[in-house]
Copies of this chain bind each other. A is one copy, B any other.
Amino acid sequence: MSEFELIRDFFADIGPVRADVALGVGDDCALLTVPPAHELAVSLDALVAGIHFFPDCDPAAIGHKSLAVGLSDLAAMGAEPAWSTLALTLPAADRDWIGSFSAGFAALSARYGIRLIGGDTTRGPLSVTVQVHGLVPVGAAVRRNGARPGDLICVSGTLGDAGLALCGLLAGIEVEPALRQRLEYPTPRVELGLALRGLATAMIDLSDGLAGDLGHILTASGVGAELDLARLPLSLPVAEVIEQTDDWSLPLSSGDDYELCFCVPPGRFDAVQSLAAELSCPVRAVGRIRAEPGLICRLPDGGILTINGAGYDHFAVQP
């Protein structure tokens, strides 16, 4: 199978046809139209075998996740997904593997109406790089730098599930399917991110753990925060680990949750809760922004947890 056959067979028609794609896969560049009074939001992420996923991971899951991590970034800006590009590097042109990968990528593309408009396929160590492109009305994007003292800090979903699944897989322990799903098929919170435009003062997606990612909001906004760990939304398995070990690193510094962390003035919290209920997306307030710099994590017994490190760092942590 040549590079051109591969593109024609698997990647020429992923996601819906869109009127804003003047030219898609198959020329030197794709040509795109951004509607008037909108900004283009873009994010590029690379997933590398052995670092971000196990080399023998289900290729459909790799296809899903490689797009999901970008959609999560769009969600965190409040941008509407539009187009993707894909650079796929493979040791060999394995038809079954590529078919499964593209099916996982295509299913998530269809779910969010995002069109694959171009990319590159090449031989080499397995890795997947995806750029997502979204649209947002001028001035409506939610950045990291708008948090103000007194804002509530909220998170969606539950924290630490993907990290626990990864620990289990690394230890060779059987991981229950629901937990493994959270690692391999994360759900980007696109609808919630869109709904939070005009409500959230700052937002980020949780890819590297709450402590580190919230830290980026604090740094960008020039503020500090206090987290009430008793209020963290935890699944039963994660809660049990913490109960048994007194170790909070799963929700605070394990990666791959792809939930949203955002700040809202307290007066808007009811509106946020209504929206979250409409979207069937659980949202919980877990702390408060302070004027004083630094991150304080209050333990359920009233003690203070000292944070070592700031989440997952691709060069600092050996998996």
Asked whether A316 is an interface residue with its Cβ less than 8 Å from the other chain, the reply is yes
From A35, which residue of chain B is reached at the shortest CB distance?
A: B34
Asked whether A3 is an interface residue with its Cβ less than 8 Å from the other chain, the reply is yes
Asked whether A40 is an interface residue with its Cβ less than 8 Å from the other chain, the reply is yes
Is there an interface contact between B31 and A40, defined as CB atoms closer than 8 Å? yes
Q: Quick one: which of B23, B45, B129 contacts A143, CB cutoff 8 A?
A: B23
Q: Which residues of B contact A1 (CB under 8 A)?
A: 315
The stretch that binds B, out of A113-121, A275-283, A285-293, is A113-121
- How many residues of chain A have a CB within 8 Å of chain B? 68
Asked whether A85 is an interface residue with its Cβ less than 8 Å from the other chain, the reply is yes
Is there an interface contact between B23 and A32, defined as CB atoms closer than 8 Å? no
In A1-41, the 8 Å CB interface with B consists of: 1-4, 6, 22-23, 26-34, 36, 39-41
Q: Quick one: which of B29, B42, B50 contacts A79, CB cutoff 8 A?
A: B29
Is there an interface contact between A121 and B41, defined as CB atoms closer than 8 Å? no
Q: Which residues of B contact A41 (CB under 8 A)?
A: 29-32
Q: Which residues of B contact A313 (CB under 8 A)?
A: 2-4
Is there an interface contact between B123 and A46, defined as CB atoms closer than 8 Å? no
From A50, which residue of chain B is reached at the shortest CB distance?
A: B124
The stretch that binds B, out of A69-77, A102-110, A296-304, is A69-77
Is there an interface contact between B122 and A52, defined as CB atoms closer than 8 Å? yes
Is there an interface contact between B76 and A28, defined as CB atoms closer than 8 Å? yes
Q: Quick one: which of B26, B50, B129, B315 contacts A87, CB cutoff 8 A?
A: B129
Asked whether A89 is an interface residue with its Cβ less than 8 Å from the other chain, the reply is yes
Q: How far is the CA of A87 from the CA of B47 in the complex (A)?
A: 10
Question: Given the known A-B contacts A2-B315, A43-B30, A117-B42, are A124 and B123 also in contact in the complex, defined by CB atoms under 8 Å?
Answer: no
Asked whether A127 is an interface residue with its Cβ less than 8 Å from the other chain, the reply is yes
Q: How far is the CA of A23 from the CA of B46 in the complex (A)?
A: 21
Asked whether A272 is an interface residue with its Cβ less than 8 Å from the other chain, the reply is no
A119 CB to closest chain B CB (Å) equals: 5
Closest 7 CB pairs of A and B: A48-B124, A125-B125, A29-B41, A28-B76, A46-B87, A28-B73, A44-B85
Which residues in A have some Cβ–Cβ distance to B below 8 Å?
1-4, 6, 22-23, 26-34, 36, 39-46, 48-52, 73-74, 76-77, 79, 85-87, 89, 92-93, 117-125, 127, 129, 131, 133-134, 136, 138, 141, 143-144, 203-205, 220, 313-316
A sample of 11 inter-chain contacts (CB < 8 A) reads: A23-B141, A26-B144, A28-B203, A28-B204, A29-B73, A29-B74, A31-B77, A32-B42, A44-B118, A46-B124, A125-B125
